[in-house]
């Protein structure tokens, strides 16, 4: 129906992701305002319907090309289903899949796409999305024109759907185009999970380019060890091969939310701040009093890290 909301389902090891449940919650509210249904679109083996309460129906498409994620196969399928059903809104999450798929599906549909969405509503029949721009520095309220739109929502922005019964499953034939794809997934490479998970740490010591030299990392590592905290870093240290990728905080790294984030020699570029701004306590050490990090730090010092860190090690150790 022309007022339906289509939610693209993502799962991990058979479990529907939290982000998908949030999309179902957002979808329920939007569908209520539009007077349509929430359709969960599941691509791959198993409908997962018992985990998709909040949807009115699960549209289930099965085809070998849909699992694991193949961008071309998903793009063709999501766009075809959205078009066939005349969906008013297609909702995806800001994940590796959603960020890849959202603009491609929108282009295929000839519909607008809004990324980094944190709010969505219908105002006098008009779809209005609120989105983060400039790395989250500003919120933009966008009136989304047209008869269909793709919204790519940031996790944690909407309350997950709660309650509701197991939705009915409607098998949907796979598009014929899936048998003639130009893209094939050859191998799935799992990330190295042997390293410590910095996203789970309550306390993090983070170091940036101010450390100057790889050999100096020993100094901050000593402090991290004394505090029982993992050592994290800004991106340049990872790019130089001084720190593993699993320790990078930021836009193209990991998002962390520790109780305390102690930073040494990090300037506070928006791409770094995006990954740590939710830390409960941010303590920054940077010799430049005009460094942007002092705009977000709760506690700051312009002390030289080469003076401060050894002094802290002595105090803690």
Ligand X SMILES: Cc1cc2nc3c(=O)[nH]c(=O)nc-3n(C[C@H](O)[C@H](O)[C@H](O)COP(=O)(O)OP(=O)(O)OC[C@H]3O[C@@H](n4cnc5c(N)ncnc54)[C@H](O)[C@@H]3O)c2cc1C
Which residues sit at the interface with ligand X, rule CB under 6 A?
Answer: 208-210, 234-236, 248-253, 265-267, 269, 271-272, 275, 285-288, 291, 304-306
- Minimum CB distance to ligand X smaller for 30 or for 256: 256
| Residue 93 beta carbon to ligand X: minimum distance, rounded to whole angstroms | 19
| Residue 283 beta carbon to ligand X: minimum distance, rounded to whole angstroms | 12
- Minimum CB distance to ligand X smaller for 88 or for 235: 235
**Nearest Cα residue to 77 out of 93, 98, 63:** 63
- Minimum CB distance to ligand X smaller for 13 or for 215: 215
- Where do the DSSP E strands lie in 62-161? 89-93, 113-123, 126-133, 138-144, 149-153
- Minimum CB distance to ligand X smaller for 42 or for 132: 132
Q: Which residue is nearest to ligand X (CB)?
A: 250
- Minimum CB distance to ligand X smaller for 98 or for 208: 208
- Minimum CB distance to ligand X smaller for 188 or for 315: 315
| Residue 205 beta carbon to ligand X: minimum distance, rounded to whole angstroms | 14
| Residue 237 beta carbon to ligand X: minimum distance, rounded to whole angstroms | 7
- Minimum CB distance to ligand X smaller for 183 or for 252: 252
What DSSP character marks residue 1? Answer: -
| Residue 123 beta carbon to ligand X: minimum distance, rounded to whole angstroms | 33
| Residue 244 beta carbon to ligand X: minimum distance, rounded to whole angstroms | 14
Dihedral (CA of 59, 62, 65, 67) sign: positive
Helix and strand totals (H; E) in the chain: 7, 16
- Minimum CB distance to ligand X smaller for 28 or for 235: 235
| Residue 158 beta carbon to ligand X: minimum distance, rounded to whole angstroms | 25
| Residue 130 beta carbon to ligand X: minimum distance, rounded to whole angstroms | 23
């Amino acid at each position: 129906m022309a007022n339906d909301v289509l939610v693209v389902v993502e799962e991990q090891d058979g479990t529907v992701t939290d982000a998908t449940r949030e999309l179902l919650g957002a979808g329920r509210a939007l569908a209520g305002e539009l007077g349509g249904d929430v359709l969960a679109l599941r691509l791959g083996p198993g409908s997962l319907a018992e985990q998709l309460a909040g949807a009115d129906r699960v549209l289930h498409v099965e085809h070998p090309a849909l699992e694991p994620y193949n961008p071309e196969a998903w793009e063709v399928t999501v766009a075809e289903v959205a078009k066939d059903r005349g969906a008013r809104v297609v909702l995806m999450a800001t994940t590796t899949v959603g960020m890849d798929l959202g603009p491609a599906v929108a282009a295929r549909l000839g519909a607008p796409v809004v990324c980094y969405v944190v709010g969505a509503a219908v105002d006098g029949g008009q779809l209005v999305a609120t989105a983060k721009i400039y790395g989250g520095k500003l919120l933009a309220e966008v009136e989304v024109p047209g008869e269909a739109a793709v919204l790519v929502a940031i996790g944690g922005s909407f309350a997950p759907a709660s309650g509701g019964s197991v939705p009915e499953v409607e098998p949907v034939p796979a598009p014929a185009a899936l048998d003639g794809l130009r893209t094939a997934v050859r191998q799935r490479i799992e990330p190295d999970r042997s390293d410590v998970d910095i996203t789970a740490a309550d306390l993090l010591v983070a170091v940036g380019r101010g450390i100057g030299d790889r050999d100096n990392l020993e100094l901050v590592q000593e402090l991290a060890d004394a505090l029982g905290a993992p050592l994290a870093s800004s991106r340049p240290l990872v790019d130089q091969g001084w720190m593993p990728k699993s320790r990078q905080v930021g836009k193209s790294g990991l998002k962390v939310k520790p109780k305390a984030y102690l930073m040494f020699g990090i300037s506070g570029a928006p791409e770094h701040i995006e990954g740590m701004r939710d830390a409960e306590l941010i303590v920054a050490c940077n010799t430049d009093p005009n460094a942007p990090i002092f705009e977000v730090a709760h506690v700051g010092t312009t002390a030289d890290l080469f003076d401060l860190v050894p002094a802290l090690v002595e105090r803690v150790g």
